[in-house]
Amino acid sequence: MADFMKPEQRSQAMSKVRGKETLLERKFRSLLHRKGFRFRKNVNELPGRPDVVLPKYRAVIFVHGCFWHQHPGCNKNTIPDTRSDFWREKLQANRERDARAIEELSEMNWRVAVVWECELTKKVIDRTLKSMEDWILSGKLWEDAGASKSFPELWRKL
């Protein structure tokens, strides 16, 4: 499908997309806060500037959009038809940056989890929140808590 905007209009629209304080992040943080968790957000001192940092539990959580971070197996991780080479490179760079941040955080003994956009839909949000709550309180690594291994395994292969 061809883009309905002129390149200048598309550029202006995309320049307004920000990397923090997204609706997804605010929604997820609000749910965590209601559960009694206290956290810091977008901590610049940590690799990848995690969306949620729970110092008491030595845990960080990234809230990722399925398109921007190319969620494996999700139908939202498609490459646009227009300027596909540009998008492929950009999204691959995002994935590589995510992998580096997770690796660095792990080396710093932080527990790392990722919540995907599709896991915050009305249909599954209660289950997602329950698994995150259990993980935070367990003190276990994300993989050891029985969570999906697709994210860490995929990024370590990059």
In 66-128 the beta strands, taken as DSSP E runs, fall at 111-116
When pLDDT is cut at 50, 70 and 90, the band that residue 3 belongs to is low
- The per-residue pLDDT for 4 is 72
- The per-residue pLDDT for 17 is 64
* Residues 31 and 23 sit within 8 Å (Cβ to Cβ): no
Q: Identify the structural domains of the chain with CATH numbers, from first to last.
A: 24-156 (3.40.960.10)
Mean pLDDT of the chain: 84
Residue scoring higher pLDDT (26 or 155) = 26
Residue scoring higher pLDDT (132 or 15) = 132
Token match 């001192």: residue? 45
Residue 59: which of 97, 108, 100 has the closest Cα? 108
Does the predicted model carry a pTM greater than 0.75? yes
* Residues 67 and 95 sit within 8 Å (Cβ to Cβ): no
DSSP H stretches of helix in 70-149: 84-107, 125-138
pLDDT tens, position by position, 18-68: 666 788 899 999 999 999 999 999 899 999 999 999 999 999 999 999 998
Cα atoms found within 13 Å of the Cα of residue 59, Cβ hemisphere only? 20
> How far is residue 75's CA from residue 59's CA, in Å, rounded to a whole number?
28
> How far is residue 132's CA from residue 32's CA, in Å, rounded to a whole number?
9
* Residue percentage of the chain with pLDDT more than 90: 56
